[in-house]
């Protein structure tokens, strides 16, 4: 149980660091463009999407969900 609390604290700190870093403008524009195209193709405004970058391996429950 003690280790769990340490990992939670470390996770909280890491999340603060990640959320404090601004995405490069060109990357944000690319993502927004692809998202707009996806919404257009599906005919749905503000389509909910899920992303993952775990590669070919599956790691359920090991990644944070961040919504903007």
63 compared with 20, residue with greater pLDDT: 20
2 compared with 8, residue with greater pLDDT: 8
Q: Which residues contact 52 (CB under 8 A, 6 or more apart)?
A: 63
Give just the sign of the alpha carbon dihedral 48, 46, 30, 20.
negative
Name the pLDDT band for 49 (thresholds 50, 70, 90): confident
The pTM of this model reads 0.54
* Euclidean distance between CA atoms 52 and 17, whole angstroms: 19
Q: What is the residue extent of each domain of the chain?
A: 1-68
């Amino acid at each position: 149980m003690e280790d769990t609390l340490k990992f939670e604290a470390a996770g909280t700190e890491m999340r603060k660091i990640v959320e404090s870093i601004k995405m490069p403008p060109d990357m944000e524009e690319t993502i927004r463009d692809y998202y707009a195209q996806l919404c257009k193709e599906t005919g749905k405004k503000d389509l909910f999407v899920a992303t993952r970058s775990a590669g070919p391996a599956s790691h359920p429950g090991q990644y944070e969900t961040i919504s903007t």
